[in-house]
Chains A and B, each alone.
Chain A
Amino acid sequence: MRPPPNSSTFKREFVKKWLLALQLCNHNNNINKNDVVKRKDTIKLSAEIAMASVRNGATCWSRALMAKHSSSFHVTTKPHHMPPPPPPRHYKKRVRCKKIIKRSRRCCHNRSAAAAVVRRKTAVLRKLVPGGELMDDEASLIRETLDYVMSLRAQVDVMRRLARASDCVAMCNIV
């Protein structure tokens, strides 16, 4: 997995792609300017696509998001330096290895109770991280989660600043 760009680079790239995505969404969907609900959906969708597109296929979560939205967005993505996805047989070997380890741990009751809790929380996390259900080993899931959380935070930060900036612009227009 390619490491994420630093936060300010990410945000700059995100803004560029978001504005472009908004324009494309508008063009594709012919949104009535008074339709607030539709506008909200457009903003949210285009922000999600922009966030995934900044990572450019380098992570499983970004690929999952692009795949999820490709039908509604009518844009084919051409990731520039997309690394090949890990070959499935490595995952299968890791899963078998992990199953053997998990089986041998079951004989220790305290550990297994704690492990069951961790497994439950991990299952919840898989549902929250896009593409999480496709990841078989915990390490990949945690790495993807780290990357996803950092990207989400940057997205939220940009959106907050945009909301504040729009407030300022709106106030200047009134004055």
Chain B
Amino acid sequence: MSSRRTSRQQSSGVPRISDDQIIQLVSKLRQLLPELRHSRRSDKVSASKVLQETCNYIRSLHREVEDLSDRLSELLSTIDADSPEAAIIRSLLM
């Protein structure tokens, strides 16, 4: 079995996920988060903080989808995709 910490590649040819890669992914996540994006680059933000903010952000996006669905259900009296209102809306969105 070659799945040892020191070996760079597993025998199946799949590269081991390095800690560096995880750090890079976490920093990409940080760029997406409105709370953390504007903090100075030199500030070290822990992985757990990034994960926490990500969870908070996803929850707030879900809440926003709920609220917008509520609002749209009241605003849109018909959801017929062929209606003239839908055509207007489509042209405003695209």
Query: Which chain A residues lie closer than 8 Å to B22 at the CB level?
Result: 138-139, 142
The verdict on A33 contacting B69 (CB below 8 Å), with A97-B16, A128-B55, A145-B54 known, is no
A121 near B32 (CB under 8 angstroms)? no
Query: Which chain B residues lie closer than 8 Å to A143 at the CB level?
Result: 25
The verdict on A26 contacting B79 (CB below 8 Å), with A93-B12, A100-B3, A118-B47 known, is yes
Query: Which chain A residues lie closer than 8 Å to B86 at the CB level?
Result: 19
For residue A112, CB closer than 8 A to chain B, the reply is no
Interface residues on A, range: 35 or more
Q: Which of B55, B58, B69 is packed against the most chain A CB atoms within 10 Å?
A: B69
- Give B44-79 as 1s and 0s: 1 = Cβ < 8 Å from A's Cβ atoms: 001110011011011101101110111111111111
Q: Which of A114, A125, A129 is packed against the most chain B CB atoms within 10 Å?
A: A125
Chain A proximity of B52: nearest CB distance (Å)? 6
**A52-60, A65-73, A75-83, A152-160 - interface stretch:** A152-160
A22 near B12 (CB under 8 angstroms)? no
A93 near B10 (CB under 8 angstroms)? yes
For residue B35, CB closer than 8 A to chain A, the reply is no
- Interchain CA distance A166-B89 in the complex, whole Å: 7
Measuring CB to CB, which residues of chain A are less than 8 angstroms from any residue of chain B?
11-12, 15, 19-20, 22-23, 26, 33, 36-37, 39-44, 47, 89-90, 93-94, 96-97, 100-101, 104, 114, 117-118, 121-122, 124-125, 128-129, 137-139, 142-143, 145-146, 148-150, 152-153, 155-156, 158-163, 165-170
Query: Which chain A residues lie closer than 8 Å to B59 at the CB level?
Result: 128
Query: Which chain A residues lie closer than 8 Å to B46 at the CB level?
Result: 114
Chain B proximity of A152: nearest CB distance (Å)? 5
Query: Which chain A residues lie closer than 8 Å to B14 at the CB level?
Result: 90, 93-94
A159 near B80 (CB under 8 angstroms)? no
Chain A proximity of B28: nearest CB distance (Å)? 6
Tell me which of B3, B25, B54 contacts A96 (CB under 8 A): B3
Chain A proximity of B5: nearest CB distance (Å)? 6
B73 near A36 (CB under 8 angstroms)? yes
B17 near A100 (CB under 8 angstroms)? no
A125 near B80 (CB under 8 angstroms)? no
- Interchain CA distance A42-B73 in the complex, whole Å: 9
Query: Which chain A residues lie closer than 8 Å to B77 at the CB level?
Result: 33
- Interchain CA distance A89-B14 in the complex, whole Å: 11
B72 near A149 (CB under 8 angstroms)? no
